[in-house]
Amino acid sequence: VSGNRLARAGAELHRRRLDALIVSHPANIRYLTGLNASAGACVVTPSPCTLVVDLRYATAAAEAVAGSSIQIEVADASIDDGAIAVIRGLRPPRVGVEGAHLTVARFNKLSGALTPTELISTERVIEELRVIKDAEEIERLRHAGRMISAVARQARDWVVSGAAEVEVAACVDAAMRQAGFERPAFDTIVASGPNGCLPHARPTRRRLAEGDGVVLDFGGVYDGYCVDLTRTLLIGEVPAPFRRMFEAVREAQAAAIAAVVPGAAAADIDGAARRVLGAHGLAAAFGHGTGHGLGLEVHEEPRISRTVPADERVQAGMVFTIEPGAYIPGLGGVRIEDDVLVVTGGCELLTDVPIEL
Ligand code: ZN
Ligand code: ZN
């Protein structure tokens, strides 16, 4: 992990007038230290950083931080007790915790044990650093984008009349493993025919049939980094209204991708997709946001949606999905999703799959 991440975290602490920050969210710990663990705490201070782990992760932690300035504290009781010991040694007046990731019970325990240190609930300190990817992260995401695209290009072989949704999902998952992903980023979605109108449908025993549109949405984790892709496959001749919906979503997705440029408001990128769907009479059929950030988590900053403040702008180095959709009960659904990296003058597509497979 680049030492620059800790330096940026330290600068952020300074800006927020915090003497230290207890990082407890696993994705944030991984971002700062390289440690992939389900539990741990990272005590970030302007100069040293201490990674608190229990015995289970002592070896992995030592390997992760080798060659860096990060110190390791192996807690013999709980992680929180270890973090308390580290903070007591530093005696800082103001310590931040991650409000979105710490339970009230843990907050109360830390707060009681650390008196008179003031514990301050913070929001998105490390998340804001993560939103701009560094060179190492971009390389991984590019590679993962190529891998997920190769999986998607095989989908026509699985999405055939007579196959059950759960069988298609199993093929997708097996191909992701085969491609080199460490695990799926979320439960694979295969939503055929009328099931397609539920954006987060779970695969069922329903068998695909002639005339179905089939929404295939899947993601993989490669070296910790998530990519996410959706294609809607058509089996034989689909009803004309479904075909029109497909073309409208294709056009909406292209419009949103064309709107991605450094400085563009996230809400305007969403608006570009929404305007196209509206022009096709599908405004009410598009009930979710246009995209979400990708990185160590499959849903992270930035949000590309109409609900984000108008001054939230995308910047070079951000990676997110563009995935407009349209869903009509009885008719089914269409969603098309690709992953983009914002670069000078526009965006680079990390995924490369024909829209119509
Ligand atoms: Zn997806
Ligand atoms: Zn997505």
Q: Tens digit of pLDDT for each residue in 97-142? A: 999 999 999 999 999 999 999 999 999 999 999 999 999 999 999 9
- The ligand placed nearest to the CA atom of residue 291 is 2
Q: How many whole angstroms separate alpha carbon 139 and alpha carbon 89?
A: 39
pLDDT at 278: 98
Contact 344, 316 (CB under 8 A): yes
Contact 253, 339 (CB under 8 A): no
- The ligand placed nearest to the CA atom of residue 298 is 2
Q: How many whole angstroms separate alpha carbon 32 and alpha carbon 25?
A: 11
* Cα–Cα distances in angstroms (integers) from residue 181 to residues 145, 185, 218, in the given order: 11, 9, 12
- The ligand placed nearest to the CA atom of residue 184 is 1
pLDDT at 341: 98
Q: pTM of this prediction? A: 0.95
Residue 337 Cα to ligand 1 middle (Å): 6
Is the per-residue pLDDT at 2 higher than 80? no
How many residues are recorded in the chain? Answer: 357
pLDDT at 333: 97
Contact 83, 74 (CB under 8 A): no
- The ligand placed nearest to the CA atom of residue 294 is 2
pLDDT at 3: 76
pLDDT at 294: 98
Is the per-residue pLDDT at 166 higher than 90? yes
pLDDT at 73: 95
- The ligand placed nearest to the CA atom of residue 200 is 1
Average pLDDT across the chain, whole number = 96
- The ligand placed nearest to the CA atom of residue 220 is 1
* N-to-C CA span, the chain: 38
- The ligand placed nearest to the CA atom of residue 289 is 2
- The ligand placed nearest to the CA atom of residue 293 is 2
Residue 204 Cα to ligand 2 middle (Å): 20
Q: What is the pLDDT of residues 21-31, one digit of tens each?
A: 999 999 999 99
- The ligand placed nearest to the CA atom of residue 218 is 1
Is the per-residue pLDDT at 66 higher than 80? yes
- The ligand placed nearest to the CA atom of residue 303 is 2
Look at residues 331, 340, 194 and name the one whose alpha carbon lies nearest to residue 259: 340
pLDDT at 101: 94
pLDDT at 86: 94
Q: How confident is the model at residue 1 (pLDDT cuts 50, 70, 90)?
A: confident
Q: What is the pLDDT of residues 224-265, one digit of tens each?
A: 999 999 999 999 999 999 999 999 999 999 999 999 999 999
- The ligand placed nearest to the CA atom of residue 187 is 1
Residue 164 Cα to ligand 1 middle (Å): 20
pLDDT at 129: 96
Residue 231 Cα to ligand 1 middle (Å): 9
Phi, psi of 228 (to 5 degrees): -155, 130
Q: How confident is the model at residue 195 (pLDDT cuts 50, 70, 90)?
A: very high
Q: How confident is the model at residue 211 (pLDDT cuts 50, 70, 90)?
A: very high
Residue 104 Cα to ligand 1 middle (Å): 32
**Average of per-residue pLDDT across 295-310:** 97
**Average of per-residue pLDDT across 81-95:** 93
Residue 138 Cα to ligand 2 middle (Å): 18
Is the per-residue pLDDT at 314 higher than 80? yes
Kindly list the protein residues that place their beta carbon closer than 5 angstroms to ligand 1, a single-atom ion: 217, 228, 230, 337
Residue 298 Cα to ligand 2 middle (Å): 7
Residue 109 Cα to ligand 1 middle (Å): 38
Q: What is the pLDDT of residues 175-188, one digit of tens each?
A: 999 999 999 999 99
Q: What is the pLDDT of residues 322-352, one digit of tens each?
A: 999 999 999 999 999 999 999 999 999 999 9
Task: Report the run of H or E that residue 291 belongs to, with start and end.
Answer: strand 291-293
Residue 292 Cα to ligand 2 middle (Å): 6
- The ligand placed nearest to the CA atom of residue 290 is 2
**CA angle, corner 247, sides to 197 and 231, nearest 5?**
55
pLDDT at 263: 98
Residue 149 Cα to ligand 2 middle (Å): 14
Residue 325 Cα to ligand 1 middle (Å): 11
Task: Report the run of H or E that residue 279 belongs to, with start and end.
Answer: helix 266-279
